[in-house]
Structure 1
Amino acid sequence: MIEAKSILDFWFIECSPKMWFKKNDKFDALIRNRFLNLIKKSLKTNIEDVNIALDTYLSLIILLDQFTRNVFRNSSKSFEGDNKAVKLTKIAIDNNFIKGSNHHYNSFFLMPLMHSENILDHRLGLPLFKKFTNENTFKFALKHKDIIDKFDKFPHRNNVLGRISTKSELEFLKLPGSRF
């Protein structure tokens, strides 16, 4: 169903870490051209039907949590895969996929917990980020959790999700580093 090898080879071999989080229209278009059909398929996938395998889960998480953000940037659709990605992450944790992977794999296995607006996901993820990823990734996880602690959501998503921003959120959004 999911072409795990092509997704993982693209993300971890063809792309460099510098490309992963940088806003770049050409990179977004490249992902859209190569993976849009798989993204759409993954959004419709029933998790219970997915073979529990490290590569399959990681590739699905990347499709649902990362590629959606590139392909549907500045749209509410960029968050459509988040809940499913969190469920996959929790299954991956239960199956010890995190313990047997390198820190780049671990970062993306855990990323849905960082992107979640549920504080319980952050509480689950933070010690795992500390133990199984690098210091920089842990710092970003901590920064995300701090925002959820303060606002119960990521204010920078308000516009695309049709939410009204509070005065304190608008003030926060003026600060450098308040958006991801």
Structure 2
Amino acid sequence: MNDNNMRQVWQEVLDFWFPEGRSLQADLATHKDHWLWRMRGGADSEITRRFTGPTAEAAAGHLDGWASDPNSRLALIIVLDQFSRSVWRNSARSFAQDTAALAFTMEGLTNGHYAQLPTPWHKVVFGLPLGHCEGEDHLERVDLLIGLREEIAAQAPVHLSPVYRSLVKQAQDVRQVIAAFGRHPHRNEVLGRPSRLDEEAYLAKKQFPHLRAFQDLIIP
């Protein structure tokens, strides 16, 4: 695949995943709907139809060159962290790219790529692997995630700030889960690992952070 084709693919990823584009004048209600679409699997069929090939390529490490630029790095993170969950939903493979996605996020936080992203929604998605990737330093990374989201919420356009305050709350909810269990229990069945008794009680409630997002958001 030549450079022009490579650029076309990662630009298609960004255009698809961010229907609001780069306009900071996005309507609040529409912007919330875009977030729910991104967070709750509403794009699964379209991702599978359009991006299964690039997702497999990224999982194999063949798209690592996208990390050379802030925007294409973000596209790579989206493919590894988000599209993998759609293409391989209900399979352990859907989470197998989390470590790679996290590495690209952490590097992008230190090399200036994150700071160059143009909108709050680009920055939130860039940071998703901090909360998604399980591991020994998970709680520390979620604290970093909360801090980043607090900064984003403070800098977001005033009319969109309710969305980003809700996303701070969602990250705080994730922290409670990781502090209690050290992992995401809702993945246990897919990953073939047994749930502890405390996790079974949590799972029975079905009050997972990604499903509770925006419950506190009131749109005038």
State if a TM-score over 0.5 links the two structures: yes
Q: Are residues 1:95 and 2:94 paired?
A: no
Structure 1 SS opposite 2:19? helix
Q: What residue in structure 1 maps to residue 102 of structure 2?
A: 86
Cα separation, 1, equivalents of 2:59 and 2:41: 22
1:7 is matched with 13
TM-score, normalised via structure 2 length: 0.74
The runs of 5 or more residues in structure 2 that have no matched partner are 1-5, 21-32, 154-163, 211-220
Alignment length, in residue pairs? 178
Mean Cα deviation higher: 47-56 or 92-101: 47-56
**Which structure: larger Rg?**
2
Q: Report if aligned partners of 2:170, 2:209 keep a CA contact under 8 Å in 1.
A: no
Code of the aligned partner of 1:9:
D
**Residue identity matched to 1:112:** P
> Matched residues in 1 for 2:209 and 2:128: separation?
16
Question: What amino acid is aligned across from residue 88 of structure 1 in structure 2?
Answer: F
Q: Does 1:64 align with 2:64?
A: no
SS at match of 1:74: coil
1:47/1:95 CA distance change after superposition, 3 Å = farther
User: Residue 14 of structure 2 aligns to which amino acid in structure 1?
Assistant: L
8 A contact 2:58–2:79 mirrored in 1: yes
Are 1:119 and 2:139 matched, yes or no?
yes
Q: Percent identity?
A: 29
Q: What is the correspondence of 1:29-44 to structure 2 with a 5 Å cutoff?
A: 29-44=45-60
State the Cα distance separating 1:6 from its structure 2 match: 0.7
User: Quick check: 83-92 or 114-123, which moved more?
Assistant: 114-123
Q: Which residue of 2 aligns with 1:18?
A: 36
- What is the CA–CA distance in structure 2 between the aligned matches of 1:99 and 1:70, rounded to whole Å? 28
Whether 1:104 aligns to 2:124 is no
CA distance in 2: counterparts of 1:165 and 1:13, whole angstroms: 38
How far the C-alpha of 1:18 sits from its partner, in A, is 3.2
What is the CA-CA distance between 1:132 and the residue it aligns to?
Answer: 2.0
* Residues in 2 aligned to 1:30 and 1:111: alpha-carbon distance in whole angstroms: 21
Q: Measure the CA separation in 1 of the matches of 2:191 and 2:92.
A: 5
Which range moved further: 117-126 or 77-86? Answer: 117-126
Deviation at 1:108, TM superposition (A): 0.5
1:170 to 2:189 alignment: no
Q: Secondary structure at the match of 2:195?
A: coil
**Runs ≥4 in structure 1, deviation > 3 angstroms?**
46-51
SS at match of 1:174: helix
For 2:60 and 2:12, locate their aligned partners in 1 and report how far apart those are by CA, in whole Å. 19
Check the 8 A contact 1:98/1:132 in 2, yes or no. no
Tell me how far 1:57 sits from its aligned partner. Answer: 0.6
1:158 aligned partner: 188
